[in-house]
Amino acid sequence: MKNKTQLFLTAGLFLLIFFMTNAQESRSFKIFQFPKDQIPRIDGNTNDWQMVPESYIIGMDQLWEDSGKHEKVDSTNLYVQVKVGWVKGLNRLYFLYEAYDDYWDFSLSGLHNDTFELIVDGDQSGGPFIDRFHPNKQLDSLDAFFSFHGVHAQNYHIFTPAQGKDWTLVWGSQPWIKELPFSNAAYNYDFQPGESGKLTLEFWITPFDYAGHEGPVRAVESILEENKKVSLSWAVIDYDNVNNPSNNGFWNLSKEHTMYGDASYALSFKLMPLEPEFYPKLEADWSFEIIDMKNREVAFLDESKGEITSLEWDFGDGTTSNKKNPIHIYKERGKYIVVLKVSGPFGNSRRSKVWDVVVK
């Protein structure tokens, strides 16, 4: 009877862990869209982020300490929260990292440094991406490093703070991605090594589907679009003793410790549309695609925002249309001024593009 009871308890514990693990795997998060006229300035100041709703905050309640050194969060020892943002039209991810630590450890020149370790997989390709996880175990380690490490997903060891060193180690063969025009960072803090205090880190990075050691000449940026999902994860590595090589905690967003080198263990983040409060009341906008240059056939796409009751296209050749997304054939070759006018309860709006549409 005792053995059966132990068996049931063991089975119950296994099922509990199984369901908890799967629940963790299904977690997803949101990336806030900044209006294009309110792009955050990278200066270590949080004012630009005040518009971000609390629902976008990812705090310590979403992390767990997977080295077994802490049973629960102690905000008097360490507390962290992160916001992630993006801007439509830019292939950049913006981050605001705010942390309190009772002992900031950052006086040494090497890896021993309080760290925000971030991985990004812009196209959710998944899979291992560091040299020692290369599937071909016979491959020379440096060959694996230069051909594989950080190429399709990237790992940033961001030093919090960086003193007398670059703001981050890009763990891979492409350190060029930590410099402008591919990233930027700024800190705000007033403590010395070994002291307590609050740190603000503001930065942006460019995610890459391909980032080789040869530099940006062959690089492929990840395309960021509304409602697209990207994979992210991070860990907070907390050191509390400059003389102790071991850290005092590894607080992980992913359920898998090895997320640092395998993007399959990252979590899904959705690039959100603008929050309703930032919608323009009425704004005409449009794009186009030349679908047949030989026949001068052009497809127009209405991208206007707001409440619209009527619209009119002027194709610049003396013809118009009231269709939302018309296809127009130009009879003559030339450069055209195309205008879209929209109307609604909040007035009128016009978007003109001068000589964007050129057919031959």
pLDDT band at 150 (very low <50, low <70, confident <90, very high): very high
Please give the pLDDT value at position 184: 98
Please give the pLDDT value at position 17: 39
**Domain 21-271 fold:** Immunoglobulin-like (2.60.40)
Question: CB of 286 within 8 A of CB of 268?
Answer: no
Question: DSSP letter at 262?
Answer: B
Q: Residue 22 pLDDT > 60, yes or no?
A: no
pLDDT band at 26 (very low <50, low <70, confident <90, very high): confident
Give me the count of residues in the chain: 360
User: Across-strand partners of 354?
Assistant: 337
| Angstrom distance (rounded) from CA 133 to CA 154 | 14
Q: Starting at the edge strand that comes first in sequence, how are the strands of the sheet with 310-314 ordered?
A: 320-321, 310-314, 334-344, 347-359
Closest CA to 202 of 186, 218, 219: 186
User: Across-strand partners of 38?
Assistant: none
Percent of the chain surpassing pLDDT 70? 93
Question: CB of 210 within 8 A of CB of 51?
Answer: no
Within the chain, all domains assigned CATH 2.60.40.1190 are found at 21-271
Please give the pLDDT value at position 283: 95
| Angstrom distance (rounded) from CA 34 to CA 41 | 12
Question: CB of 212 within 8 A of CB of 173?
Answer: yes
Q: Residue 18 pLDDT > 50, yes or no?
A: no
* Span 60-78, average pLDDT: 92
pLDDT (tens digit per residue) in 285-338: 999 999 999 999 999 999 999 999 999 999 999 999 999 999 999 999 999 999
Residue 237 backbone dihedrals phi, psi, to 5 degrees: -100, 115
Q: Residue 90 pLDDT > 90, yes or no?
A: yes
| Angstrom distance (rounded) from CA 71 to CA 62 | 14
Percent of the chain surpassing pLDDT 90? 90
| Angstrom distance (rounded) from CA 9 to CA 11 | 5
The CATH classification number of 280-359 equals: 2.60.40.10
Within the chain, all domains assigned CATH 2.60.40.10 are found at 280-359
Please give the pLDDT value at position 10: 44
pLDDT band at 19 (very low <50, low <70, confident <90, very high): very low
Q: Strand, coil or helix: what is 277?
A: helix
Token pair of 28 as six digits: 């997803």
User: Across-strand partners of 93?
Assistant: 205
Q: Residue 29 pLDDT > 70, yes or no?
A: yes
Q: Strand, coil or helix: what is 311?
A: strand
| Angstrom distance (rounded) from CA 267 to CA 21 | 13
User: Which single residue is written with the structure tokens 């890896």?
Assistant: 111
| Angstrom distance (rounded) from CA 144 to CA 132 | 8
Q: Identify the weakest region by mean pLDDT among 8-12, 141-145, 202-206, 273-277.
A: 8-12
Please give the pLDDT value at position 25: 66
| Angstrom distance (rounded) from CA 97 to CA 44 | 10
Q: Identify the weakest region by mean pLDDT among 70-74, 173-177, 191-195.
A: 70-74
Which distant-in-sequence residues (6+ apart) come within 8 Å of 129 by Cβ?
121, 148, 149, 150, 151, 152, 153, 154, 155, 172, 261, 262, 263
User: What is the average pLDDT score of the chain?
Assistant: 93
Please give the pLDDT value at position 56: 98
pLDDT (tens digit per residue) in 193-239: 999 999 999 999 999 999 999 999 999 999 999 999 999 999 999 99
pLDDT band at 32 (very low <50, low <70, confident <90, very high): very high
